[in-house]
Amino acid sequence: MTTSSNDMELIKGFVEGKISDNDLEAHLDNLKLTLQDSSLSWSDTYIKTNPYDYLKSLKIKSIDGRLNAQGVLELFLKRKGITSIRYKKYSDDYDIILDSQPKYIDADVDFIERNVIPTTKLSKGETKKLMKETFKNLFQFHKKPPKWIQSPNWPIINDKPLYFLGQLEIKDCDLFHDDGYVYIFIDQGNDKIETIKQFY
């Protein structure tokens, strides 16, 4: 299959940070034939069909979408024998989220972009500090944060994290097959109680 040199320049440009996420999204359908190259196999990767279909499933203009798009296009270039120099900002942006978010929270990246990431330009250190404070202000608890058995699952309703009251141990209870905890949250807007159950 012949590939347009313009297509490869655009793909490499995005991986190297010379082409924006807006431009990639605007030109994605023009890259369809190039990215669906049937001579390349993806069976040994996380890409189920081809890079085009994978990219269509992403929100490319989000922090994790940009990073995932960069990763798949970098892999595509490698399969085509083309070297590129990865633009670090996409992974740096994502790393700030990982470094700032407490271990007892695993909020959706869309929520974090809307509510936690500062809208003003700050240094990396200032951004991280402000994000940590924002996480603390948004995810409030009575005495201690939840001690999750499994992955964090803090409920967020109408873009607002619920207040964590505490957790109740489930041990040797006939109602459940396993031991675990019930995590109790309250929606301060209407005093409604929400619970999350996790088991060992």
Give the pLDDT band (50/70/90) at residue 24: very high
pLDDT digits (tens, 9 = 90+) for 60-75: 999 999 999 999 999 9
pLDDT digits (tens, 9 = 90+) for 7-22: 999 999 999 999 999 9
Mean pLDDT, the chain, integer: 94
Pairing label, strands 192-199, 160-161: unpaired
Give the pLDDT band (50/70/90) at residue 150: very high
Q: What percent of the chain has pLDDT over 70?
A: 98
What are the backbone angles phi and psi of residue 181, rounded to the nearest 5°?
Answer: -140, 150
What are the backbone angles phi and psi of residue 80, rounded to the nearest 5°?
Answer: -90, 0
pLDDT digits (tens, 9 = 90+) for 95-129: 999 999 999 999 999 999 999 999 898 998 999 99
Q: What percent of the chain has pLDDT over 90?
A: 87
Residue 132 has pLDDT above 90, yes or no: yes
pLDDT digits (tens, 9 = 90+) for 35-66: 999 999 999 999 989 999 999 999 999 999 99
pLDDT for position 40: 92
Residue 200 has pLDDT above 80, yes or no: yes
Contacts for 14 with CB less than 8 Å, ≥ 6 apart: 20, 21, 23, 24, 69, 70, 73
pLDDT for position 1: 47
Tokens 């082409």 belong to residue: 19
Per-residue three-class SS string for 125-142: HHHHHHHHHHHHHHCCEC
pLDDT for position 175: 82
Question: For the chain, where are the E strands, in sequence order?
Answer: 156-157, 160-161, 163-170, 180-187, 192-199
More confident residue, 162 or 171: 162
Residue 3 has pLDDT above 70, yes or no: no
Query: What 3-state DSSP class applies to 107?
Result: coil
Output the pTM of the full model: 0.79
Q: Domain segments of the chain: what residues?
A: 5-79, 89-138, 156-199
